């Protein structure tokens, strides 16, 4: 199923490629403006301020003491922290 979806996405991009506008080179004078646009703004990325735990055991103990749930965050389809 994933392979089929990738082929469909590739076919769509190839079909849409002639309709895409030509990209201009990044000009040195526009770099600062673009960097400001793509960087996290004030109030964004608040998750970075959380004291995340990397030990599931420590998280379970702390959650039990505080009566709070555990949030397990894994990205990119990989195991948490890239473990096997």
pLDDT tens figures, 7-44: 777 766 666 666 555 666 777 788 888 888 888 888 88
More confident residue, 32 or 1: 32
- DSSP symbols for 33-83: HHHHHHSPPTTS-GGGGS---S-HHHHHHHHHHHT--------TTSPGGG-
- pTM of this prediction? 0.39
Helices and strands (DSSP H and E) totals, the chain: 3, 0
* pLDDT score of 60: 93
């Amino acid at each position: 199923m994933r392979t089929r979806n990738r082929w469909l996405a590739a076919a769509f991009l190839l079909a849409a490629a002639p309709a895409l506008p030509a990209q201009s080179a990044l000009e040195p004078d526009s770099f600062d403006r673009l960097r400001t646009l793509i960087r996290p703004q004030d109030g964004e990325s608040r998750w970075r301020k959380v004291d995340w735990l990397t030990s599931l055991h420590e998280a379970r103990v702390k959650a039990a003491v505080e009566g709070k749930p555990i949030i397990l965050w894994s990205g990119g389809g990989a195991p948490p922290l890239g473990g096997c």
